[in-house]
């Protein structure tokens, strides 16, 4: 299920927006997708980084469901600027509200790694090991060759998150995407997007990227 191409901006943000590094912050850039890492809040405030290895990206709307925010005993509703940000943060498509995208992601990952398609539980475990240092919420970075990075991959470029788009990298800020820069043609990049997700991108999974980052 595709999301909007332009993120929403709100004037009084709460701390429920997710950055490409996976941090949960309060910024006006609300986003085009929902996220779920379990129950992270108490009394309307974020009190933990994640509750389990289940990190998913959901559609803003599904059927006629209404998702309560900040309610006790209900998962904390998070927001992403675009799908590339959600993948960089370490989330994957939801198997319920985005079944087609979930199946496409699993199929692409299997094609990219030469493995059988992973179950949801196997996929959750693998992504969790790739996105954070075990037992913490510290972010893991991975080395990948610049020349082989597929569109939609997030890297650290000039000490800030940036998305790879064709022959450019576009910095991401808390106000949205910035000015396009030339993509290095050789050497290693430090990637935020987990290696398994990069494998899926290489094999043809195409995430939604906000129009402001496109050529």
CA distance 151 to 168: 9
Domain assignment present for 40: yes
Q: Which residues does residue 210 pair with via DSSP β-bridges, in sequence order? A: none
Domain assignment present for 90: yes
Domain assignment present for 72: yes
Structure confidence at residue 5 (pLDDT): 37
Domain assignment present for 39: yes
* Dihedral Cα 19, 193, 100, 58, nearest 10 deg: -20
Domain assignment present for 70: yes
DSSP three-state, residue 118? coil
Structural element, H or E, at residue 42:
strand 41-42
Taking phi first (over 0 means left), then psi (-120 to 50 degrees means alpha), and beta for anything else, what does residue 126 get? alpha
Query: Which residues form the domain of 96?
Result: 17-139+197-213
CA distance 171 to 178: 5
Domain assignment present for 161: no
Structure confidence at residue 11 (pLDDT): 57
- The tokens describing 213, both together, are 């980052």
Segments of the chain with pLDDT less than 70: 1-11
Domain assignment present for 168: no
Q: Which are the contacts of 139, defined by CB distance < 8 A and separation ≥ 6?
A: 21, 22, 131, 132, 133, 192
Q: Which are the contacts of 67, defined by CB distance < 8 A and separation ≥ 6?
A: 34, 74, 77
Q: Are 166 and 112 in contact (CB under 8 A)?
A: no
Encode pLDDT of 121-178 as tens digits: 999 999 999 999 988 889 999 999 999 999 999 999 999 999 999 999 999 999 999 9
Q: Give the count of domains, the chain.
A: 1
Structure confidence at residue 7 (pLDDT): 45
Structure confidence at residue 149 (pLDDT): 97
Structure confidence at residue 67 (pLDDT): 77
Look up the pTM and report it. 0.92
Q: Which residues does residue 188 pair with via DSSP β-bridges, in sequence order? A: 145
| Cβ neighbours, 10 Å, residue 14 | 16
Domain assignment present for 77: yes
């Amino acid at each position: 299920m595709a999301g909007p191409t332009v993120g929403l901006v709100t004037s009084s943000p709460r701390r429920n927006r997710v950055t490409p590094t996976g941090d949960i912050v309060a910024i006006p850039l609300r986003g085009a997708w929902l996220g779920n890492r379990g129950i992270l809040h108490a009394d309307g405030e974020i009190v933990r980084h994640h509750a389990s290895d289940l990190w998913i990206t959901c559609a803003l709307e599904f059927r006629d469901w209404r998702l309560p925010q900040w309610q006790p005993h209900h998962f904390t509703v998070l927001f992403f600027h675009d799908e590339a940000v959600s993948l960089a943060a370490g989330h994957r498509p939801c198997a319920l509200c985005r079944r087609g995208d979930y199946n496409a992601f699993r199929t692409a990952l299997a094609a990219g790694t030469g493995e059988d398609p992973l179950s949801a539980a196997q996929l959750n475990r693998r992504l969790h090991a790739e996105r954070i240092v075990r037992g913490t919420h510290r972010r893991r970075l991975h080395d990948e060759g610049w020349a082989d990075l597929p569109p939609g991959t997030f890297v650290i470029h000039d000490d800030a998150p940036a998305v790879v788009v064709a022959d450019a990298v576009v910095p991401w800020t808390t106000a949205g995407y910035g000015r396009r820069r030339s993509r290095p043609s050789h050497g290693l990049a430090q990637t935020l997007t987990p290696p398994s997700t990069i494998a899926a991108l290489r094999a043809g999974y195409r995430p939604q990227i906000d129009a402001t980052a496109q050529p």
